[in-house]
Amino acid sequence: MTPRSDVALAEWCTMGVGGPARWFVEARTESDVCNALAWARARRAVVHVLGGGSNVVMADAGFDGLVIKVDLRGVASSPLGAREIYSAGAGEPWDPFVAVTVAGSCAGLECLSGIPGQVGGTPVQNVGAYGQDVSGCITRVHAVDRRTLQPTLFSNAACHFRYRTSAFKREGGGRYVITRVEYALERDAPPTIAYADIVNYFEQRGETSPSVGAAREATLDIRRRKGMVIEADNPANRSCGSFFVNPLVSREQYATLQANAGSAVAVPHYVVDECMVKIPAAWLIEGAGFTKGSKRGAVGISPFQAQAIVNHGGATAADVLSLAAAIKRAVLDAYAIAIVPEPVFVGFKPSAALQWLLDPDPHN
């Protein structure tokens, strides 16, 4: 195993910013992962586990350690009663995998079509969209424990999935290298038609019982209109998707927000449970003055939706952070809601500015 040196990380992440990795290696097997971890340990080098790079911001200074690019492949499926268990290598590209499950007439992932990245990244932040989260169908996650270099198996409950987070992102952050993920999908079952955009899509077309294939196409169509599919000629390609997580607020905070907005404005929201309400970050960002398509040097807000920060070419990580901080400040001042970034920041030195950006409850 011989890692390469000084590999430009901007080319390995969708945001397209960041300096070089001191060392970089691609892992195609579980043994490769263990060898790479042992190699780093022998040199006391820090490790970053890289998937598709679609949810990371790399520091301009790069990463002074070993980047392990996960490239374990292979998809297998086997029936279990009315369900089909799909097992996919962590390095499988996500959307082609979803296409395979949909072609197999299996329901459970169709609304997650068009999301970039790899299979191994999906449990990390409990990837979700349009009414589905991977936590709804993941049965097992196979990983290597970086402390012991031993294989470890997580049940769904052990993953501690919550909204856009999991044990792999929270308490276990960085401790495990995910190698394989298993999803239990419903064979020949109807798709999830729950999210307003998808419901409206089919209502407008008069389709009352769409197939999972139709739901996949609807999702891709809706995502394209929001610039959320990475493909040729999309001016919003260089991004992390939604830069901020939709904030969860108490019912009282929501009532205050609505009262302040006045009766002419209906604050968009989604009731999560009897206590919490989710507010679209995009609505807050636009309301705080950051309109779609606005630019600030080499970065800007996506022309399609306010939640995405876009690198228009030649941007630095510092440009991205500066715009993100300005957005967070404006939303905090306008609505007293602290929005927090969704992507993972890699290689950054601890700083008060970064800590403030990540803080869900900043004091100023």
Ligand X SMILES: Cc1cc2nc3c(=O)[nH]c(=O)nc-3n(C[C@H](O)[C@H](O)[C@H](O)COP(=O)(O)OP(=O)(O)OC[C@H]3O[C@@H](n4cnc5c(N)ncnc54)[C@H](O)[C@@H]3O)c2cc1C
Closest contact distance (angstroms) between CB of 264 and ligand X is 31
Cβ proximity of 85 and 182 under 8 Å: yes
In the bound state with ligand X, the residue whose beta carbon lies nearer, of 45 and 261, is 45
Rounded Cα distance, 325 and 317, in Å = 12
Encoded tokens for 20? 């070089």
- The H or E element that residue 103 is part of is helix 94-103
In the bound state with ligand X, the residue whose beta carbon lies nearer, of 86 and 335, is 86
Active site residue 164: yes
Active site residue 242: yes
Beta strands per DSSP E along 164-252: 176-187, 239-242, 248-250
In the bound state with ligand X, the residue whose beta carbon lies nearer, of 128 and 257, is 128
Closest contact distance (angstroms) between CB of 260 and ligand X is 29
Catalytic entry in 22, 242, 286, 302: 242
In the bound state with ligand X, the residue whose beta carbon lies nearer, of 9 and 331, is 9
Q: Which residues bind ligand X (CB under 6 A)?
A: 14, 49-56, 70, 90, 115-118, 120-122, 124-125, 127-129, 168, 176-178, 228, 230, 239-241, 344
Rounded Cα distance, 262 and 245, in Å = 25
Closest contact distance (angstroms) between CB of 52 and ligand X is 3
Instruction: Give, as one character, the DSSP assignment of residue 347.
Output: S
**Given phi > 0 = left and psi -120 to 50 = alpha, else beta, which region is 59?**
beta
In the bound state with ligand X, the residue whose beta carbon lies nearer, of 71 and 286, is 71
Catalytic entry in 164, 180, 216, 223: 164
- Mention every residue, 6+ apart, whose C-beta is less than 8 A from residue 244: 281, 285, 307, 324, 327, 328, 339, 340, 341, 342
Active site residue 225: no
Cβ proximity of 219 and 110 under 8 Å: yes
Cβ proximity of 291 and 300 under 8 Å: no
| DSSP reduced 3-state for 116 | coil
Catalytic entry in 84, 92, 110, 342: 342
Closest contact distance (angstroms) between CB of 334 and ligand X is 25
Closest contact distance (angstroms) between CB of 25 and ligand X is 14
Q: Give catalytic residues, as residue numbers.
A: 164, 242, 342
